[in-house]
Amino acid sequence: MNQATKPRYDALSRAFHWLTAIAVTVAFILGPGGFGRMMHQGVDPATHSDIVWHESLGLLVFSLTVLRLVWVAFRPAAPRFAMAGWMHIASKLAHGALWALLLALPMTALLALASEGHPLTLLGGLRLDQMPLIANSALAPLADWGDVHGLLGDAIMWIAGAHAAAAIFHHVVLKDRVLAAMLPQVERR
């Protein structure tokens, strides 16, 4: 179908978008402040549900992002909207940054855990105590990955907030269908 007859994202793209947005937001809220300090004091992360949920949601975000990238290669064409050139550029930059952060955040988390010898603790009692391939990688000693992870976590929330504000601007001020293209379809009677 051409763009004129299909002004919405397909249902799977919309589901991926909103599941990812919810998972990122909840993971951010549950992001354990002082995680490294707690681990150095001998606290077992499995005893803190916020840490377990944060790490589980982080892996969910990574999985959803990889699946989304595969789907983007095969899905119907995304809707296009007439807008100013600077808006197209800003949109491309924001989307590119969000995609990069969705991939980088889980990777920096694994680097932080592995390089400091902390376990990965997941829902269902799953636990990975050591990650030697990551801990011994050339990347592990290059940064304090916990600090990088925290900085990127803040960045994704700022960019996602700007993304949401832009969508609301399109809906309220420009009165175009940009926001509606990603919202669930409402049946009119």
Q: What is the pLDDT of residues 101-122, one digit of tens each?
A: 999 999 999 999 898 888 899 9
| pLDDT for 167 beyond 60 | yes
Q: What is the pLDDT of residue 3?
A: 40
Q: How confident is the model at residue 26 (pLDDT cuts 50, 70, 90)?
A: very high
Token digits for 72?
A: 């983007």
Lowest mean pLDDT segment, chosen from 25-29, 125-129, 153-157, 159-163: 125-129
Which domains, from first to last, does the chain contain? 11-174 (1.20.950)
How far is 60 from 159, CA to CA, in rounded Å? 20
| pLDDT for 151 beyond 90 | yes
| pLDDT for 34 beyond 60 | yes
Buried b (16+ CB within 10 A) or exposed e, 171-188: eeeeeeebbbbbeeeeee
Report the candidate in 182, 96, 109, 178 with the shortest Cα–Cα distance to residue 143. Answer: 109
Q: How confident is the model at residue 86 (pLDDT cuts 50, 70, 90)?
A: very high
| pLDDT for 4 beyond 60 | no
More confident residue, 64 or 130: 64
Percent of the chain with pLDDT over 90: 60
> pTM (2 decimals)?
0.87
| pLDDT for 1 beyond 90 | no
